[in-house]
Chain A
Amino acid sequence: MYAENTAEPPRAKLRTEGLRAWFGHTEALRGVTLRLPERQVTAIIGPSGCGKSTFIRCLNRMHEVVPGARLEGRVTLDGQDVYAPQINPARLRRRVGMVFQKANPFPTMSIRDNVLAGLKLNRMRIEDPEVIVERALRQAALWDEVKDELDRSGVHLSGGQQQRLCIARCLALEPEVLLMDEPCSALDPIATAKVEELIRDLSERYTVVLVTHNMQQAARVADYTAFFYMGELVEYAPTDELFTHPEDRRTEDYITGRFG
């Protein structure tokens, strides 16, 4: 599933080189080198504790928010080292957005304010708030469901709707990359299907990195898949190839359900 309408392979939007990460003394990532292609969905799969979430949190510098967290190696966005000393992590996070496992809309804000939260928190000037809100909610496939209650708080929405609201909140900032950390694991199958469809649509504009423990989801949604095991990148290939002809024994064992 390469981008079919281009003759050449997609370029790498994000790269890591020898990325190592620790929580205190525990090493969570042992030197991961990975290239994430632009405007594709890359799934990161692996058993619990293999470092998938840690990995994507290194991509938007959320890993360092945890006290005692450390990291080594290089992470570049469009070739620029994101850990260089003059880089402002907040600015990075505007370009590399994140959606969490459990939807976390801000309870004291209305739906409209939730969507605009990223802009307000960054003190950016909002010229057309209604336009931005509608665009973000449409992109998140939520507009029709909430357009009449934008002033209400988001806490009465269903789990799936809340998650799409969080996605809209990210999209309002017009990022280039979307990091999604098991976004469907707290959702029922119908809501999951909606979000998966959304992810496929989003990949036309955004680079999506999707952490999932659900292999079928990876098979359904992702263009490329990376298999992590115990902090290492074991294998990385276009999804079809990884699932039908895994090269590494460990990948095969995981896919066939022998562990994890």
Chain B
Amino acid sequence: MVTPSQPELAPVAPTTPPAEPSPLGDQRSGRLGERLFTLVCLLSLALPLLLLALLFGQTLADALPRLDWAFLTSFPSSRPEAAGILPALAGSAVLMVLTAAIAIPLGVGAALWLEEYARPSRFTAFVELNISNLAGVPSIIYGLLGLELFVRALSLGRSLLAGAATLALLVLPMVILSSREALRAVPLSVREACFALGADRWQGLRRVVLPMAAPGMLTGIILALARAVGETAPLVTIGAVAYVNFVPSSVLDEFTALPIQIFSWVSRPQLAFRANASAGIVVLLAFMLALNAAAIWLRARLQRRIDW
């Protein structure tokens, strides 16, 4: 390493610290303060998570005596030992499928319109404001809407269809939001390529853009469905009751769902029902875990096919 010649500079006096008192040293107190603060911040996240873990653990422990095959296949009863969760489980499963069937086309459709077709205008800004607001409306108010509109006005009664429609409206903002993000993630150049090949807008969207956006959309949809599965208030308001003695066979049947059943058991004063409630919670959480796992698997599968 040849150092190029440098112009003449006066030799430097050996280590004469400038007149300032302790100029560059002393950082121990600063570092300690920063470490302490970082610890406090970490704890502010870790403690609630730990608390949650403890609560889950205790719930699982409370649930174990009741968790067995009989529990999963029995009908509700006034005796806690005999009360099972079958109709609720079936109800939740059917509800979820129905909600998906309603919310996915409507939500993806709205996202497509907002992202691909609509020119930004005051109207679209108003639509976006609406969606943002609807995302924050309490779920119980959706229940009241569902009650008046689906149960009464459309005479669907306290049926699975009415429940699914209500839940679909509830999760629609989430579906729209995540679908829009997924569409935005698809590069513009892809759409340009479609046009250059002579395809019209819808063809390009249907055959190229949507499949590319699908994995991202799926995650959002699954999250929305998981939220729907856990909702209690809107279903309570439309009148879904816990004492349903049959597994629903048509979408117009009355129904119950996992959260409703749990709510009902929690509300009973008898101590023995507590085990039922905690067992129900375990089943509900397992259900949601299965949903999320399916989402991750499905997403990985779809993503592998589209390597971009």
Residues of A within 8 A of B (CB): 8-12, 15, 18, 30-31, 33-35, 37, 76-80, 82, 86-92, 95, 224, 233-238, 247-248
Whole-angstrom CA separation of A92 from B22 in the bound complex: 11
Known: A8-B10, A78-B18, A80-B15. A248 touches B27 (CB 8 A): no
| List of A residues within 8 angstroms of B13 by Cβ | 79
Shortest CB-to-CB span from A191 to chain B, Å, is 32
- List the 5 closest pairs (A to B, CB-CB), nearest first: A88-B27, A11-B10, A87-B24, A9-B8, A86-B25
A79 touches B14 (CB 8 A): yes
- In angstroms, Cα B226 to Cα A56, docked, is 53
- For A224, the chain B residues whose CB sits under 8 A away are 7
A37 vs B18: C-alpha distance when bound (angstroms): 16
Q: Is B48 engaged at the interface, CB distance under 8 Å to the other chain?
A: no
- Tell me, in angstroms, the Cα distance from A24 to B50 when the chains sit together: 36
Whether B24 contacts A92 by the Cβ 8 Å rule is yes
Inter-chain contacts of A88 with B (CB < 8 A): 24-27, 30
- State whether A31 touches B1 (Cβ < 8 A): yes
B4 proximal to A (CB < 8 A): yes
A82 to B27, CA, bound (A): 13
Whether B24 and A80, one on each chain, are in contact in the complex, defined by CB atoms closer than 8 angstroms, is yes
Q: What are the residues of chain A within 8 A of B9 when measuring CB–CB?
A: 9-12, 35, 37
Residues of A with C-beta under 8 A to B42: none
Total interface residues in chain B, CB < 8 Å: 23
Report Cα–Cα, A87/B11, bound state, in Å: 24
**Which residues of B from 268 to 292 have beta carbons under 8 Å from A?**
none
Does the CB pair A236–B4 fall under 8 Å?
yes
- Which residues of the other chain, A, contact B78 by a CB distance below 8 angstroms? none
Bound-state CA distance A80–B14 (Å) is 9
Residues of B within 8 A of A79 (CB): 12-16
Of A10, A82, A90, the residue contacting B10 (CB under 8 A) is A10
Quick one: which of B203-249 are within 8 Å of A by CB? none
Q: Are B10 and A15 closer than 8 Å at their CB atoms?
A: no
Let me know if A87 and B7 touch, CB within 8 A: no
Given A35-B6, A234-B4, A238-B7, residue A11 in contact with residue B12 (CB < 8 A): yes
Q: Which residues of A contact B133 (CB under 8 A)?
A: none
16 more CB-based (< 8 A) A-B contacts, given A12-B10, A87-B27, A233-B3: A9-B10, A11-B9, A12-B12, A31-B1, A33-B3, A34-B6, A77-B24, A78-B17, A79-B12, A79-B16, A80-B15, A86-B27, A88-B25, A91-B27, A238-B7, A247-B4
Q: Which of B1-58 contact A (CB under 8 A)?
A: 1, 3-18, 23-27, 30
With most chain B CB atoms within 10 A of its CB, the pick from A18, A79, A89 is: A79
Contact between chains at A91 and B7 (CB < 8 Å): no
Q: Of all chain A residues, which has the CB nearest B23?
A: A91
Separation of A87 and B22 alpha carbons in the complex (Å): 10
Q: Give the docked Cα–Cα distance between A237 and B9 (Å).
A: 11
Show 20 residue pairs from A and B whose CB-CB distance is below 8 angstroms, ordered by the A residue.
Answer: A8-B10, A9-B8, A10-B10, A11-B10, A11-B12, A12-B10, A15-B12, A78-B17, A79-B12, A79-B13, A79-B16, A82-B24, A87-B24, A88-B24, A88-B27, A91-B23, A91-B27, A234-B4, A236-B4, A247-B5
